Each structure stands twice: as C-alpha cells, then as structure tokens.
C-alpha cells in the first residue's frame, strides 16, 4: 500500500499557486498538479488562523467539536487567556513561559477535546504508523520528551520539562526530535534565529532523513511556515515566496531516484491553512477596538482574567473575539462595534442559534442546525431574517454561499467552540483589528476573517487511488487519508 505525505503550506493561495506555475517558478507543484487532482476552492475553517485550522485538519471537525476557538482566546470560566504565540510583544506581556506552555502542551493535552480523535490516534489504533513534522497540533498515543534549548529553558524557569504526546514519528523543530537512527546533520536552520528548526528547510531535512532511515510512517503531515511570514511582510512578492517553497519540495522530490518514483510509493498532497488579504497602508486600516469600546472597562492583556472588567478582547488579526464579562454588556458591546463600517460581520449566539449582522447595518440573520434547508455539504439548517447579510442564496431548499464560503458551519463552529457568550467580529477587506500589543500589518498581508479571500485554499492530490470529493472542505481531508490507508473510522 502507498504511504501518504501531506504538506501543509501556510497561507498558500490558489491564484498565487496558478501564477507561480504559469510563470514556470514551481516545477514540483506543476509535476504534482499534472499528475493529480487540483481543487482551487477548498474551504478552511473559521477563524482563518493556523491553530484552529490545524486542529480541524487533524481531527476532521470544526472548532465547536475540537474546542480550540482560535490563535488567541480566553476561557471566562477558568479565567485564563491563551495565546499560541502571535508575535513578540503579546508574548512579553502574557509571558513567554505561559505562551510556550500554551502551544507546547495545553493546545494538545488540555484544549483540544478528548471527545474527538486525531488522525494520528486513529491510524495508530489501527496498526498504522503516523508522523508529524513541525505541526503545532499533534496529539497522539506516544509520549515524546521535549529538549528545551538552554536559553528557553532558563527563561521559562525550567517549568516546561514535560513530555508531549504525538504520533510515533514526531518532530517539533529541535525541541522534539524524531526517533530515527541518524540525527539530522546540524545546520543554521536549527538555530534560535531560525525558530529552533520550525522552518521549511529543517522540516524537509527531517522528512528526507525519516524516509532514508527506512522509518517512513504510513502517513506524514509536514508543516511549512515560511510562506506565511513572508506574505505578512511583502504580499506583492507572493509568487516569489511560493517559488521558494517549491524549491524545498524539489529537494524532497530529488531525494528519490526519480520524481515518478516518489509518486509510485506515495500519495502526495498539498494543502494550505488559509489565505491572506492585503491591508491598506494608512493608519485607518487598523480598526481600533479599544476606541470603539471606550465606554467599557477593557481587561488588559494578561494570562489571568480578573473580576471587575466589562470585556476581554482576543485579537486574531482580521477577526476578534470579544468576551462580555457580564451578560448585561452583550448588547451594548454589539451596538458599540456595529456602528463601524470597517467591521464586516458581527456574530453572537442565543441558545442554540447564531445571530449575525453586517457592520454599519441593523438587519439580522439568525440560523440554527437541523432545519429544513441544507447547504452544499449536506448539513441541515433553519434560518430567519435576511440571507443577504451573509450573501447566501436559497435555491429551493439548498443554501448556496459565495462571499463567505461554508458560512453557517464555520460561524457556528467558532461561536460554539466554548459554552460562554462571545461576540465574533471580522474586518472588511483591506482592514484588520488593532488592540493592545496585537501584531498589525499596514501595507502587508493579514488573515482571520470569514471572507473568501482568507478562506479559500488550494488542495492538490497526486497519486491517490480515487478523487477527492467535491465541493471540498479542509475538514474532509482526514477521512480521505484514512480511506487511502484502508482505515475506516467506525
Ligand atoms: Zn499568518
């Protein structure tokens, strides 16, 4: 049976992939595309942030079931704020030990629901071997020791000397090294300046070495982060950034006797986690949440949530979660943010229903599960109010989405990831949210919203035994891979 390798390329977008191949800058991707199935409009989950997306990719469910709502979020009941590391300043405020603990341990061992099983868990329960290279969501049945570099060890006061769980073959930069015969030859990609090995070069080095060692797992998920970092800074050079990712894929293909040999032995898939949207250059492209919420007392950015404030802001770039600390504040908060037309959508929940309106407008759309309508993915819904709020058309009893792909399941997924009340706001195209210490990208790229620019991702499947089902969603990838490896989830 063939093995499966899935490359997760951060912020890869369909139009950039097509232009890169058209300009003959992506021979590896072109090779795979010509021998496979290319889906330009696969839909990712919301918010379009790596942490929530990665959890959905490995569990095959939306955040309402895996319970990781975003990159930055808070638990009003436990009175804690979580940040899986989104820039240097917030980390300084919340504390490196707290953030490193969040991303290294809490995400997998505490936050991701035990009610759902990761692809690694399912595969290894079915006598297959699974592998994860540099992916932050990696829960599995094996325990791996974390080797913190001395500097990080000292800064975090030696508090992080725990084990993390993962599949049999597991790599997390230089912090968790895969259990193979030969160590990865040391190079600059493993230094602190290069993120302790959380980079494209090191990920491909590890993959090549794992295959050479004869220990290639039946399934390997490989995370390539650099395209995202470069796009945030220079979105205009998007083709060049993706061409650099392709050079890493060429290195992988060249490690076989021939590129064809790779495909004879493997199903090779490429996917992205989200797109990016260009942010305008002038200051007014940052929507100042603290100014909009000036009549409320706003909780400062800290690890612990204390009593006595009105609202906690958790900024996920082009989306934000606003947590009213008192139920009386819910509607005043909604009213306060709704007035700004730079805000695209404002969504919240009432019992088992989602309510949503556009920034600067008052029409409300309300929807709920298990009604008489169904979407293109076969999920059943009921609704009341103005469908144009989410640019939805109903054709008979079928709901068709356009500007906000798979909008109902994705909004529902984000709002019901937690039992507490929360308001989700998204920024209009060209804008992102500004709040205490959150990283911003004026003149650069950003993501997080429900809009199709952030939400449609390319999916490339090469060497598989059958077609990937369309219309495609990122949450369907887990099941497709399990079937390719002859494993049924039931
Ligand atoms: Zn990003």
> How far, rounded to the nearest angstrom, does the alpha carbon of residue 416 sit from its chain's CA centroid?
17
Q: Convert the pLDDT of each residue in 204-219 to its tens digit.
A: 999 999 999 999 999 9
Mean pLDDT across the stretch 59-87?
Answer: 90
Check residue 174 and give its pLDDT.
Answer: 79
pLDDT band of 331, cuts 50, 70, 90 = very high
Ligand 1: centre distance to CA 316 (Å):
10
Ligand 1: centre distance to CA 190 (Å):
21
Ligand 1: centre distance to CA 53 (Å):
12
Check residue 145 and give its pLDDT.
Answer: 86
Check residue 146 and give its pLDDT.
Answer: 83
Q: Look at 190 and 443; give whichever has higher pLDDT.
A: 443
Ligand 1: centre distance to CA 11 (Å):
7
Mean pLDDT across the stretch 48-52?
Answer: 94
Round to whole Å and give the CA distance between 287 and 332.
Answer: 18
Check residue 102 and give its pLDDT.
Answer: 76
CB atoms within 10 A of CB 34: 10
Check residue 82 and give its pLDDT.
Answer: 87
Mean pLDDT across the stretch 51-59?
Answer: 96
Residue 270 is inside which H or E element, if any? Answer: strand 266-272
pLDDT band of 362, cuts 50, 70, 90 = confident
Q: Which of 54, 90, 150 is nearest to 478 (CA)?
A: 54
Check residue 153 and give its pLDDT.
Answer: 63
Check residue 198 and give its pLDDT.
Answer: 83
CA of 87: how far to CAs of 17, 301, 315, in Å?
27, 13, 12
47: cis peptide before it, omega within 30°?
yes
Q: Does the pLDDT at position 463 exceed 70? A: yes
pLDDT band of 416, cuts 50, 70, 90 = very high
Ligand 1: centre distance to CA 230 (Å):
9
Mean pLDDT across the stretch 309-314?
Answer: 93
Ligand 1: centre distance to CA 287 (Å):
18
Check residue 96 and give its pLDDT.
Answer: 64
Ligand 1: centre distance to CA 213 (Å):
33
Q: Does the pLDDT at position 229 exceed 70? A: yes
Mean pLDDT across the stretch 438-453?
Answer: 94
Q: Look at 475 and 440; give whichever has higher pLDDT.
A: 475
Ligand 1: centre distance to CA 164 (Å):
24
Q: Per mean pLDDT, which range of 78-82, 379-383, 428-432, 465-469 is the poorest?
A: 78-82
pLDDT band of 467, cuts 50, 70, 90 = very high
Check residue 231 and give its pLDDT.
Answer: 96
Mean pLDDT across the stretch 363-385?
Answer: 97
Check residue 160 and give its pLDDT.
Answer: 58
Q: Does the pLDDT at position 430 exceed 90? A: yes
Q: Does the pLDDT at position 157 exceed 60? A: no
Q: Does the pLDDT at position 408 exceed 60? A: yes
Ligand 1: centre distance to CA 127 (Å):
35
Mean pLDDT across the stretch 431-449?
Answer: 91
Ligand 1: centre distance to CA 229 (Å):
6
Ligand 1: centre distance to CA 332 (Å):
31
% of the chain at pLDDT higher than 70: 91
Mean pLDDT of the chain: 92
Ligand 1: centre distance to CA 154 (Å):
28
Q: Which residues contact 196 (CB under 8 A, 6 or more apart)?
A: 149, 152, 173, 174, 175, 190
Ligand 1: centre distance to CA 226 (Å):
10
Determine the 3-state secondary structure of 450 from DSSP. coil
Mean pLDDT across the stretch 86-90?
Answer: 59
Check residue 7 and give its pLDDT.
Answer: 98
Ligand 1: centre distance to CA 222 (Å):
17
Check residue 126 and give its pLDDT.
Answer: 97
Ligand 1: centre distance to CA 48 (Å):
9
Mean pLDDT across the stretch 145-169?
Answer: 73
Q: Which residues contact 125 (CB under 8 A, 6 or more apart)?
A: 117, 141
Q: Does the pLDDT at position 235 exceed 60? A: yes
CA of 51: how far to CAs of 20, 46, 102, 352, 427, in Å?
27, 10, 11, 25, 19
Q: Does the pLDDT at position 317 exceed 70? A: yes
Ligand 1: centre distance to CA 457 (Å):
14
Domains located in the chain, CATH noted: 3-68+112-276+453-484 (3.40.720.10), 283-446 (no CATH)
């Amino acid at each position: 049976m063939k093995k499966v390798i899935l490359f997760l390329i951060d912020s890869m977008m369909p139009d950039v992939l097509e232009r890169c191949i058209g300009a003959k800058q992506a021979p590896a991707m072109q090779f795979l595309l010509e021998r496979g199935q290319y889906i330009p409009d696969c839909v990712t989950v919301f918010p379009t942030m790596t942490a929530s997306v990665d959890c959905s990719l490995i569990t095959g469910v939306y955040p309402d079931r895996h319970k990781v709502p975003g990159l930055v979020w808070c638990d009003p009941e436990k009175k804690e704020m979580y940040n899986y590391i989104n820039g240097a300043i917030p980390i300084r405020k919340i504390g490196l030990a707290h953030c490193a603990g969040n991303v290294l341990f809490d995400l997998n061992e505490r936050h991701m629901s035990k009610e759902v099983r990761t692809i690694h868990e399912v595969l290894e329960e079915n006598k297959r071997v699974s592998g994860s290279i540099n992916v932050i969501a990696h829960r599995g049945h094996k325990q791996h020791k974390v080797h913190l570099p001395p500097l990080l060890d000292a800064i975090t006061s030696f508090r992080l000397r725990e084990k993390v769980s993962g599949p049999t073959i597991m790599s997390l930069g230089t912090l968790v090294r895969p259990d193979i015969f030969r160590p990865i030859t040391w190079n600059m990609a493993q230094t602190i300046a290069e993120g302790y090995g959380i980079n494209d070069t090191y990920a491909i080095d590890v993959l090549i070495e794992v295959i050479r060692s004869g220990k290639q797992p039946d399934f390997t998920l490989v995370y390539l982060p650099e395209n995202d970092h470069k796009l945030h800074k220079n979105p205009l050079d998007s083709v060049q950034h993706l061409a650099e990712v392709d050079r890493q894929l060429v290195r992988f293909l060249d490690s076989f006797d021939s590129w064809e040999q790779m495909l004879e032995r493997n199903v090779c898939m490429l996917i992205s986690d989200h797109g990016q949207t260009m942010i305008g250059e002038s200051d007014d492209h940052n929507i100042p949440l603290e100014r909009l919420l000036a009549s409320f007392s706003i909780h400062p950015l800290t690890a612990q949530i204390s009593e006595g404030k009105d609202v906690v802001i958790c900024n996920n770039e082009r989306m934000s979660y606003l947590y009213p600390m008192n139920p009386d504040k819910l509607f005043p908060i909604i009213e306060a943010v709704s007035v700004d037309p730079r805000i695209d959508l404002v969504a919240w929940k009432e019992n088992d229903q989602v309510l949503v309106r556009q920034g600067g407008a008052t029409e409300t759309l309300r929807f709920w599960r298990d009604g008489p309508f169904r979407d293109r993915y076969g999920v059943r819904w009921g609704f009341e109010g103005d469908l144009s709020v989410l640019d939805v058309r109903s054709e008979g009893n079928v709901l068709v989405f356009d500007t906000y792909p798979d909008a109902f399941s994705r909004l529902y997924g984000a709002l019901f990831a937690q039992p507490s009340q929360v308001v989700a706001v998204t920024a209009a195209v060209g804008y992102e949210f500004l709040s205490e210490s959150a990283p911003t990208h004026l003149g650069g790229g950003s993501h997080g919203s429900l809009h199709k620019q952030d939400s449609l991702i390319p999916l490339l499947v090469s060497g598989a035994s059958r077609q990937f089902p369309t219309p495609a969603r990122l949450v369907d990838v887990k099941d497709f891979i399990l079937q390719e490896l002859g494993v049924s989830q039931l």
